[in-house]
């Protein structure tokens, strides 16, 4: 996290993830994502959200045609 890293509310994080606000709150409660407490407010650094997404991104599998023929 850099000093200029924007801090997102749980609502903003949920919008970026395309989920309800409950999901980022659960990630925070389960300590599955980095967060910052600013007084009584909880914020998620944008870089932590990007790391969370990158760590869970599944790359497509490429299958060669010869492998398809053998399987059939």
Q: What is the mean pLDDT of residues 34-58?
A: 96
Helix (H) or strand (E) holding 53: helix 46-55
Name 42's Cβ contacts closer than 8 Å, sequence gap at least 6: 10, 28, 35, 36
Residue 64 confidence (pLDDT) above 80: no
- Whether pTM > 0.75 for this model: the answer is yes
- Quote the pLDDT of residue 24: 97
- Quote the pLDDT of residue 62: 86
Q: What is the mean pLDDT of residues 13-23?
A: 97
pLDDT band, residue 65 (cuts 50/70/90) = confident
Domain boundaries, the chain: 7-57
Q: What is the mean pLDDT of residues 27-53?
A: 96
């Amino acid at each position: 996290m850099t000093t200029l890293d924007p801090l997102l509310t749980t609502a903003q994080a949920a919008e970026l993830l395309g989920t309800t606000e409950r999901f980022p709150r659960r990630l925070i409660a389960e300590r599955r994502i980095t967060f910052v407490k600013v007084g009584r407010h909880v914020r998620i650094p944008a870089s932590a959200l990007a790391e969370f997404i990158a760590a869970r991104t599944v790359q497509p599998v490429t299958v060669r045609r010869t492998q398809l023929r053998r399987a059939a």
